[in-house]
Structure 1
Amino acid sequence: MKQLFLLFFFTLSLQAQFQINGIVKNTNSNEVLPFATITTDIGNYSITDVDGKFSITSSTPISFFIVSYIGYTKTKINIQKNTPFYNVSLTQTTDNLNEVVINTENAALAIIKKTIALKDNNNPQKRLKSFEFKTYNKLIVSANPDSISGKIDSIIVRKTKKGIYYKIDSTNYKFKNTVNKRHLFQTEKVSQFQFGDNKLKETILGTKMAGLKQPLYEILAFNLQSFSIYEPKYELFETKYNSPIADNSLKEYNYKLLDTVAIAGRNSYMIYFKNKKKSKAKGLEGILYIDENNYAIAKAIVRIRGLLDISANHDFEYFADENIWFPIHKDFQIIKGKNDDDIKIFGGTIQFDGDMEQDLSARKKQPSDYIYLRSESHNFDIQNNKNVKIPNPFYAVEIEKNALNKEESFWETFRKDSIDIRTKKTYSDLDSIAIRKKIANRLQFGKKIINGYLPIAFFDLDMRKFFSYNNYEGFRLGLGGVTNERLSKDFRIEGYTAYGTKDGAFKYNIGAAVKVDKQANSWLGVSYTDDVKEIASTSFLIEKKPFKIYDPRPINISTFYNYVSWKSYFETKQIPKTESVWELAHAEVEPKFNYTFLQNDKLYTSYTMTTAMASLQWNPFSDFMQTPTGRIEIEKRFPKFTFQYTQSLGRLWDNDFDFSKFDFKTEYEKKYLNGQKTSLLFQAGYALGDVPLTHLYNTSPNNITKETIRQRITFSGKNSFETMFFNEFFSNKYALFQFKHGFNRVTLFKKIKPSLVIVTRMAWGNLEHPEQHLGLGFKTLEKGFFESGIELNQIFNGLGLTTFFRYGPNQLPKIEDNIAVKLSYVLNLGF
């Protein structure tokens, strides 16, 4: 979802209208004072870094600022016109010092330990049985016009003997005129939050997005910052970091007591925290204001500085009756960071100024350098420990049906400040621009392209169908897709046709479906298919294949079966946190290789199968949003579980065999703060009864039978066994396990940045009555299969190299036959 968010706003940066910089030193020794507190007259906070330097930016004028440091006399500095840098000297004093601040590091640790020990008593989601409140949120993307030079620049194009030719650049001039009148984007939202039974739900009562009649639901669900600083994993811009008051936070953060301040008339410790890692953007830093009496968080400032500078504030109000600080306000801001590395987002390059400590020539400021994003939320109508009944608690977010059509009087009721001319102009201008430039259509077009569809009028072409290759069909050229909402939101027609240049045969599919439940996105459909499929391959009906420009594994597959099938199906999301497909199918199957199935003394070279299938995916830990148009998974969490049951239907519709199949898969993924990732996959299947080889299990092999390692070099798959030969093993019951761990990309040279992944795979299985399968030689997996390898992905322009080694009971006699070297390719869209 972060990718969609970045696609929408492209680049977020800020050059504030008012900025002051300076350094704080000891008057007597001239030593710098790190972590001194800077407070402006308008309430901005900052602290000096390890070199005693500070910088404060503001969208409104600053008249003065106060510098304080424990053990030193506070100093007030008045802002002087045209003076951007201030040398501040503080005088040390021994008067009125509290003993607790003699050793600020030890004092901070003692305070933090008490805060951690008492956090459950101070956390509203732990302490209170229930609560509810309403929130008004406003998000804007804008720029401060006074920061932008409005002059029209002349740029030298070239010099000749006849003179100098100029090109007029009015980019900044036009941009300044635009942001003088309106913001670049804005959205408002009013929500009701309800907490009970350890669940927090947001119901969106009203929402409006400038330029869009129907908002982007993914933007509404985007989590800019955590609800609470008490969460063990604090989330900032959809990235989770260890909280500074998590149980194990002392291992990860350094703390320093800066000062004591009064918040809402209660004294609070001001604790600075910073991740112990020295590299940039590896963790959080900020300030915690901790109540001296109950050690609760009274205010929190959190930030990350890197490619993007991100800051978040949390403000609390003290409720004396419950002796608890409750969140009442939070804000979030993204500005452009200082970095000499460019980053790419969907093919567009975002440039950054060089690091300040390096001697890098400054580039010319672009309009994007002045842009910032700011989100601000105000909580009101707070009620604690009331009888809260949460409707549909299995949705983390739910949008009311009439939330998109609120009158202006609704917004005037909830806005914190009265709407200004610039805000009004933003809505009117962007609405007209969106209609004129068809912004909504462009956004929809982009979303479909990412998912692999090319919309043309009322039909979405499926780009997966254009081109592929395998050893049986040769080049498979095709065309296919599905009708879209421009034709009908409640009815669809889909299909494809393809031609194999090697087998010289056409394949096709045609189907139609009707929506029977809008909220659950339930469809009832029928289809007819004449196509080929890899033998013994395991596919879960519920799983949607992600869009790939190419799929390398099928290139070397040569054993397929043809199937001509009719099917009816029902797909739904009716059951909370699940998706399911229920199917009734009739198929005529013909293996396209030398194979005969022996069953009850009868030989089958082709057969009829009538089956019923139920396929279900369950994501119990994910969060979902219910919108007026259906359900969206807004936060994917692991593990995920997929179940599938297939049952042949006796002699119905000339069915030849009686059998049952049970399939199961679970996936787990853990991302670490340092950018590494661990992935686990467990998959199993069990087939009972008379099942021909075409419908058994092959555990996804991906190695071709050639003499030398060089001859066997092909492309690696995603979850396939790279040293297992095609058609080497078949099973009617199996289990496989895969472990992957990916490390950060390592820069070897300027454009050589490989990503190291270590992989281990193992599988076990067995085949009952192998004598029934004639014509194809194979082995069984009762002794197990094991392989491990190293992937060096994205070495250069997406290309990589992988090496795997086969070991264990099924290791081959020749060492070289156990080695597989493969190419890998990762298509980088700039995500």
Structure 2
Amino acid sequence: MKIKLSQLIITVLLTAISSFAQTKVSGIVLDDTQLPVPYANVYFKDTNEGTISDENGKFYLESKKTYTELEVTFVGFSPKIITLTKPVTYNLEVVLSEATMLKEVVLYTGKTSKKDNPALDILRKIWERRRKNGLHMFDQYQYDKYEKVEFDMNSIDSAFMKRKLFKGMEFIFEHIDTSNVTGKTYLPMFINEAVSKVYGDNTLNKTKEIIDGNRNSGFSNNQQIIAFVKDLYADYDIYDNYLKFFDKDFVSPLSRTGINVYNYVLADTAYVDNKYCYNIVFYPRRKGELTFKGNFWVNDTTFAIKQIAMSASKAANINWVRDIYIEQEFDVLNDSVFLLKRDHMMSDFALNKKEDSKGVYGKRTTLFRDYEFNIKKPDDFYTPEVNYYDEEVHNRSDEYWEENRFESLNQDERGIYQMLDTLKTVPRFKQAYDLVATLGSGYYQIGNFDYGPIFSSFGYNNVEGARIRTGGRTYFGQNDPWRLEGYTAYGFKDNKFKYGLSGKWMVDKKKRLILSGGNRRDIEQIGVSLTATNDVLGRSFASSSLFSSGSNNKLTSINFSTFSAEIEPVKNLRFLANFNYRTLKAADPKLFSLDYWVDPYDHSKGTESYTEQFEYGFLVDYTPGRKTIGYGVERSDVDDNYARLYLKFSHGIDGLTNYDFNYRKLQFYYRQPVLVGGFGRLFTTLEAGKTFGSVPLSLMGVIPGNQSYFIIENTYNLLDYYEFVADEYVSLHFEHNFNGRLFSRIPGLRDLNLREIIGIKGVYGTVSQDNIRLNASEIIYRAPEDVYWEYHAGIGNIFKVFRLDFAWRGSYLDIPDANKFTIKGVFGFYF
């Protein structure tokens, strides 16, 4: 037999790193016809150490102990015991034979919701007791917690190590290891450790975690990657009906709705740590749904979980994730209280789900100890800190970590910090790291300056023609107390320079008292949002006319200056006061008019096309449940699955110039995401507003149209710009994403992992007679007094990156040249 050198190298490497795992075995479970047996039990004989074969019958099992026998079982087949002649046995083929005689065994096929299924009787008792076990048995609780998060490149082989990409970085392969879940080789690239104290009060339904020590190496200054890590490993409770991972809601095997998506089988009974337990195997009924396969051991008297191990179905409708593996162990206190002792989660990320494709492991291990109960804290103890950052917590000594870790790092983990610190000095790695950071943030960092956003460098519109833009911001880190930002742009058709400048300074870090100001002179598309913001350097829709439909010449030349002060006295509750100055005029009077009558009752005094307005205002912004990254003047959201209530009041001051107006404007915005019982997520958006006083078109509320070929949130797909105007309006949007729940039940579609989206939008509005009389532009005021509405249906996750929507107009169909149907799309990377 001829052995390749690469195979020999891999064998030597695997042997050299196997000292931490004494027994390793992988293989496939087949039946007599050589078909795979999915969800078979595979465990070391006479132990509780085991796993479940996947939907293709494949398995991998590893233990730090030495075992010589492997047992494989599945309902309807005779158990099979395999003798292991060596510590490492790969590519084992296990063939199960149908049982010739069954005693007191009930076979289940298809749905297992039969009344005489003992597994379901046990499951119902778990439901009854799930809020009476563990920490729920006490009014108050507290415990110590240690968490370790690690990211690793996986599927490392000799060919991969020889790539030119790693020239000068060969030393990193000294830290290669093998996963005890998948058996794949991996190379650590990031590690984060945290030690904390957790407090909870069940009577108040509040918790608080105080971090005592935290450190990481690898990506400590990249807020996009840090945000990804934090979102990736959110807390979860296996007793909850739904477990959220990667912005998806998986059905828990302990869910009350679990019998609709899982099959359950009572597989065994045994003593686990001197507790008599039932072993229940569960696996999904259908492909494509967000479910798991695995097994759990549950106590026979308290019906509390003692151990659970589960992995996501490989056919689950989730992108870029090849495997999710979860394992939890519970300790027993006073013979009846089951408390979480260890929680391990591992995810395998890859561009595709092929076994041999390269990817990245994300691993989190959390340990719990020193539980204490019924020690009451003052109610204000649980009030969350608005913006607390302790530098000392993030700079603990090596001696601190040696003393406070719950378990020691293994040899490879101990070397990660030194290896990553050395890696950062390698120019080739720094170049690759900078590229990833630039694509994630949109900025290219040069010292303490971020150049960008690079995706706004080029644009086009009817007034400026081709447009180029360059700019940047200061960036010392994600906790910067101040930031300056600016840009300049040039249009080759109008031959004019534009610019924008802004600055922010956090005066009080604890209450997030922030002073900010800026000035912007540019070409803008007015009327792309009902609810106005004070972002002086916000997105410019005027530059996207290259990808627009219909006439897009209603552009405005603006000069906008603002100064504001904001404070966050309570976490996620923000108050802001601002003073603004703006001038507005048509960017090209030959194409568009903003004219208004000097005297609406005496047209002989002529018209004016220029508006110069001073304005002050106040707003309240409440975002319960919002999670952010960073403690600086700017923060990044972890995700968008939080509610938002936004109330804004503005007062326009007249008499300061010859081109101003006296008005008061009130605006309200409310957005709420809702999980709908495993059938995806519903997003509801309500906007309402009213302008008191007479204002010209430049200050009027415009129902936001969308003349681009792309989906833009909170706009109307079939409306052109300025098709409807209103000084009083109510807008309501509903959009539901089923996350593939319906397509997963249709043969031929389930394997495509497509996702269904439906939505409906409507708006009601009026225009006062005073504003109609004031108007002298060519725009004829039309308000949606009979309610304009449209509806859409979409298909998401096309090729994993594209969504396509089909939209239909529901009213005002008789308007000349009305758009009655459109197709719009959007690109995005989503799990």
Q: Compute the TM-score of the two structures, normalised by the length of structure 1.
A: 0.77
Shift of 1:669: 3.7
Distance 2:580 2:160 in 1: 69
Question: 2:318 — aligned with what?
Answer: none
Q: For residues 584 and 535 of structure 1, do their structure 2 counterparts lie closer, same or farther at Cα, with a shift above 3 Å needed? A: same
Question: 2:649 — aligned with what?
Answer: 645
Q: Percent identity?
A: 18
Q: Which shows bigger deviation, 286-295 or 243-252? A: 243-252
Check conservation: 2:800, 2:830, Cα contact below 8 A. no
Check conservation: 2:804, 2:826, Cα contact below 8 A. no
Q: For residues 401 and 281 of structure 1, do their structure 2 counterparts lie closer, same or farther at Cα, with a shift above 3 Å needed? A: farther
Describe the SS at the equivalent of 2:702: coil
Distance 2:676 2:493 in 1: 47
Question: 2:192 — aligned with what?
Answer: 187
Question: 1:133 — aligned with what?
Answer: 143
Residue deviations 1:215-243, cap 9 Å, x none? 86436624436442122322345532122
Question: 2:295 — aligned with what?
Answer: 287
Alignment of 1:615-764 (within 5 A): 615-624=619-628, 627=631, 633-649=637-653, 651=655, 656-669=660-673, 678-702=682-706, 717-742=712-737, 757-764=757-764
Shift of 1:394: 3.4
Q: Which shows bigger deviation, 581-590 or 591-600? A: 591-600
Q: Amino acid of the residue matched to residue 403 of structure 2?
A: T
Q: For residues 182 and 407 of structure 1, do their structure 2 counterparts lie closer, same or farther at Cα, with a shift above 3 Å needed? A: farther
Question: 1:331 — aligned with what?
Answer: 344
Check conservation: 1:723, 1:818, Cα contact below 8 A. yes
1:778 aligns with 2:781: yes
Alignment of 1:520-535 (within 5 A): 520-535=511-526
Match of 1:540 among 518, 532, 547: 532
Q: For residues 230 and 802 of structure 1, do their structure 2 counterparts lie closer, same or farther at Cα, with a shift above 3 Å needed? A: closer
Q: Amino acid of the residue matched to residue 811 of structure 1?
A: L
Question: 1:805 — aligned with what?
Answer: 808
Check conservation: 2:228, 2:638, Cα contact below 8 A. no
Question: 1:21 — aligned with what?
Answer: 27
Q: Amino acid of the residue matched to residue 820 of structure 2?
A: I
Check conservation: 1:327, 1:379, Cα contact below 8 A. yes
Alignment of 1:365-376 (within 5 A): 368=358, 372-376=361-365
Distance 1:690 1:405 in 2: 59
Q: For residues 655 and 285 of structure 1, do their structure 2 counterparts lie closer, same or farther at Cα, with a shift above 3 Å needed? A: same
Describe the SS at the equivalent of 1:80: coil
Residue deviations 1:721-763, cap 9 Å, x none? 2333433321101112223345668899999998764443221
Describe the SS at the equivalent of 1:723: coil
Q: Which shows bigger deviation, 546-555 or 568-577? A: 546-555
Q: For residues 487 and 698 of structure 1, do their structure 2 counterparts lie closer, same or farther at Cα, with a shift above 3 Å needed? A: closer
Shift of 1:813: 6.3
Question: 1:243 — aligned with what?
Answer: 252
Match of 1:121 among 104, 108, 132: 132
Question: 1:378 — aligned with what?
Answer: 367
Distance 2:752 2:37 in 1: 41
1:452 aligns with 2:461: no
Q: Amino acid of the residue matched to residue 646 of structure 1?
A: S
Distance 2:341 2:649 in 1: 50
1:434 aligns with 2:424: yes
Alignment of 1:63-212 (within 5 A): 63-66=68-71, 77-81=82-86, 84-86=92-94, 106-124=117-135, 126-141=136-151, 177-179=174-176, 183-196=188-201, 197-211=204-218
Q: Which shows bigger deviation, 283-292 or 721-730? A: 721-730
Q: Amino acid of the residue matched to residue 410 of structure 1?
A: Y
Check conservation: 2:242, 2:678, Cα contact below 8 A. no
Distance 1:567 1:172 in 2: 50
Check conservation: 1:530, 1:563, Cα contact below 8 A. yes
Residue deviations 1:591-650, cap 9 Å, x none? 452511455757543343111123443221334567588765435423322222211245
Match of 2:395 among 396, 405, 408: 405
Residue deviations 1:685-722, cap 9 Å, x none? 2111122221111211246xxxxxxxxx9666444323
Residue deviations 1:511-552, cap 9 Å, x none? 434331334554323323333433455353267957999574
Question: 2:14 — aligned with what?
Answer: none
Describe the SS at the equivalent of 2:117: helix
Shift of 1:509: 2.7
Q: For residues 756 and 184 of structure 1, do their structure 2 counterparts lie closer, same or farther at Cα, with a shift above 3 Å needed? A: closer
Q: For residues 505 and 748 of structure 1, do their structure 2 counterparts lie closer, same or farther at Cα, with a shift above 3 Å needed? A: farther
1:319 aligns with 2:316: no
Describe the SS at the equivalent of 1:450: helix
Shift of 1:175: 7.3
Check conservation: 1:793, 1:826, Cα contact below 8 A. no
Distance 2:728 2:716 in 1: 17
Shift of 1:399: 6.0
Check conservation: 1:678, 1:740, Cα contact below 8 A. yes
Describe the SS at the equivalent of 1:774: coil
Q: Which shows bigger deviation, 496-505 or 441-450? A: 441-450
Question: 2:490 — aligned with what?
Answer: 499
Shift of 1:826: 2.7
Describe the SS at the equivalent of 1:402: helix
Shift of 1:465: 4.5
Match of 2:452 among 452, 456, 461: 461
1:257 aligns with 2:252: no
Q: Which shows bigger deviation, 373-382 or 472-481? A: 472-481
- Structure 2's unaligned 5+ residue stretches are 1-16, 107-111, 178-185, 315-320
Question: 1:161 — aligned with what?
Answer: none
Question: 1:297 — aligned with what?
Answer: 305
Q: For residues 654 and 203 of structure 1, do their structure 2 counterparts lie closer, same or farther at Cα, with a shift above 3 Å needed? A: farther
Describe the SS at the equivalent of 2:122: helix
Q: Amino acid of the residue matched to residue 583 of structure 2?
A: E
Q: For residues 122 and 628 of structure 1, do their structure 2 counterparts lie closer, same or farther at Cα, with a shift above 3 Å needed? A: farther
Distance 1:76 1:257 in 2: 20
Q: For residues 486 and 58 of structure 1, do their structure 2 counterparts lie closer, same or farther at Cα, with a shift above 3 Å needed? A: closer
Distance 1:456 1:541 in 2: 30
Shift of 1:377: 1.7
- Structure 1's unaligned 5+ residue stretches are 1-13, 156-166, 337-342, 345-349, 354-364, 704-712
Describe the SS at the equivalent of 2:785: coil
Check conservation: 2:44, 2:67, Cα contact below 8 A. no
Q: Compute the TM-score of the two structures, normalised by the length of structure 2.
A: 0.77
Distance 1:628 1:598 in 2: 47
Question: 1:483 — aligned with what?
Answer: 474
Shift of 1:656: 3.1
Describe the SS at the equivalent of 2:641: coil
Q: For residues 435 and 399 of structure 1, do their structure 2 counterparts lie closer, same or farther at Cα, with a shift above 3 Å needed? A: farther
Distance 1:313 1:225 in 2: 15
Residue deviations 1:410-463, cap 9 Å, x none? 112223444454333322222122244497897577445434333344243333
Check conservation: 2:626, 2:637, Cα contact below 8 A. yes
Question: 2:505 — aligned with what?
Answer: 514
Question: 2:554 — aligned with what?
Answer: 559
Shift of 1:404: 1.2
Shift of 1:478: 2.8
Q: Which shows bigger deviation, 776-785 or 666-675? A: 666-675
Measured on the aligned residues, the alpha-carbon RMSD in Å equals 4.8
Q: For residues 559 and 829 of structure 1, do their structure 2 counterparts lie closer, same or farther at Cα, with a shift above 3 Å needed? A: same
Q: For residues 68 and 474 of structure 1, do their structure 2 counterparts lie closer, same or farther at Cα, with a shift above 3 Å needed? A: closer
